[in-house]
Amino acid sequence: MSRPREKRETGEQDLFRSRLDQIINMKHELVRLAQAIDWPVLKERFGAVYSDGPGMPPLPTRLMAGLAILKHTFNLSDEVLCERWVENPYFQYLCGEEFFRHDLPFDRSSMTRWRSRMGEERIVALLQESLSIAVKTGAMKPTDTRQVIVDTTVQPKNVMFPTDAKLIHRARERLVRLAKRAGLDLRQTYVRVGKLALIKQQRYAHAKQFKRANKALRRLKTYLGRTIRDISRQIAGDAELDALFKWSLYQASTVLEQRQRQRGRKIYSLHAHEVECIGKGKAHAPYEFGVKVSVATTLKRSKGGQFALHAKALPGNPYDGHTLAAIIPDMEKTIGNAISRVLADAGYRGHNAPESHKFRVFTSGQKRRVTPAIKRQMRRRSAIEPVIGHIKAEHRMGRNYLAGKQGDAVNAILAAAGYNFSLLLRWLKALLWLLLAASQSQPKELKA
C-alpha cells in the first residue's frame, strides 16, 4: 500500500468557502491542543506501516489520528463521531482541515481499518504524545513520572451475560443458519421447540425451580447434540464443507461439553471467543467478562491533574504480581524515564519485577524497607482508583466494542490517551483564563 498523502498548510483563500481560522475562536482549547500536538512525529510513527507502491493512497495520518483522539476524549462511537465531525468546525480544525466541509472525506469503516493496521505497538504513540504535551504546556513535570502507582482492572467486552442455556441455544442457531446458507437439508432445525425450551429454562431458574430448569437445559443440549451429529454426517468427506463448518462445530462441541468449575479455557461468547471470566471480589459484580488491564498513574498529582502513564491489556488473566516483569520495562519505554518507585496494592505480593526494580516496588501491608516517607506515600496509593473510574466511565473502557484481542489492547491504550487529552483540554482552558485574568489585573496608565 502506498503512503498517505499528508495535508499541508497552504494559506490559500477561496472566494466561495471560509477558512476555518477565520470563523472559529483561535483561543479555543481544541485549537490550542491542535497547535501543541507534534503532528510530524505522529506521521513518522504511523507512516512506518506504509510503503511506496501501487494502489490508492490511504487517508492522511492527521485526519485518522485526530479522529481517534476525539473519539476517546469525548466518549463517542464511530457513527456519532462522524455526525459530530460534519457539524463541528473545531473537530475539523484538529483533523487538519483548512476549509469548513459539509461532507465526510472518509467512510466510517476507515477508522476500523486504520486501528487494525496500526495495532498496539504504534497506537501507543498517542499516549506518549499526550504525556509530551502535558510536559510541554506545564501541566506535568518530567520528574512526576519517576514515582508511579500501578493497579489492574477489568475491561468488559460488549457481550451478554453468559449462561449455559443461552450459549447452547445460540450455538444451535448459528449452526442451523450456516447449514441453511450452505444448502444442507437438516432432519430438524428445532427453531420453535428450542426457543420454547430456552424460555422455560429461564422462567424455571428465575422461580428457583432448579429441577425443572435443569430438565429444560438437558433438552436444549439434546437439540444441539442432534444438530451437531446431523451436520457432521452430511459434511463427511467434503473438504470444502468441512472447512466451512470447522470453527462453528468446534465452538458448539466445546459449549456442549464444558462443565461448571472445569479447569482451562471456556467459551463465554460465540462471537468473541477471547472473552475471559475475571473475578475481582466486587460485591455488586462478582464476575466480569472481558480482559484484565494494567493501569499506571503518577504518585504525585501534577498541576494539570492525575495523568495516566501507561495502560496495557493482559490476556490470560495473569496474577497481578506476575505482570510487573513485562509492565515495568514497557512503562519505562513509553514514558522515556526510569522509574524509581512503584506503589501497588496487596494483590502484587510475591511479584516478579525485574532485578533492577525488585526493591523499588512496595505493596500495601508491607513492613520491611518501609521508611516513614514511603509510609506517607502509601496513603496516596488509592489515588489510582478515581483515574480508573474516569477512564472506564467517560473514555470507553467501561465496555469495549472493538473486536478481537487486538481490539482489547488498542481500546485500553486509546482510553488512557483520551483521558489524558481531556485533562489537557481542561488545563489549556484554565490556563487561558489565568492569562486573561493576569492581563486584566495589571494597572492601567493614566493619560496625561
User: Per residue in 91-145, pLDDT tens?
Assistant: 999 998 888 888 898 889 999 999 999 989 999 999 999 999 999 999 999 999 9
Q: Is 336 left (phi over 0), alpha (psi -120 to 50) or beta?
A: left
Q: Which of 155, 135, 169, 441 is nearest to 302 (CA)?
A: 135
User: Per residue in 77-88, pLDDT tens?
Assistant: 999 999 999 999
Give the CB-side neighbour count of residue 373, counting CA atoms within 13 A: 1
Query: 314 pairs with which residues across the strands?
Result: 292
Backbone φ and ψ for 296, nearest 5 degrees, come out as: -130, 145
Residue 445: what pLDDT? 58
Is residue 448 pLDDT above 60, yes or no? Answer: no
pTM of structure: 0.89
Dihedral sign for Cα atoms in the order 415, 421, 426, 427: positive
Residue 171: what pLDDT? 95
- The residue type at 122: R
Give, to the nearest 10 degrees, the angle between helix 164-182 and helix 239-257.
170
CB 404 within 8 A of CB 422: no
User: Distance between CA atoms of 380 and 173, rounded to whole angstroms?
Assistant: 51
Distances in whole angstroms, Cα of residue 246 to Cα of each of 59, 189, 227, 252, 423 = 37, 19, 14, 10, 48
User: Per residue in 426-441, pLDDT tens?
Assistant: 999 887 766 556 666 6
User: Distance between CA atoms of 343 and 147, rounded to whole angstroms?
Assistant: 8
- The residue type at 86: V
Residue 229: what pLDDT? 95
Residues in the chain: 448
Q: Using 50, 70 and 90 to split pLDDT, how confident is the model at 444?
A: low
User: Distance between CA atoms of 154 and 133, rounded to whole angstroms?
Assistant: 28
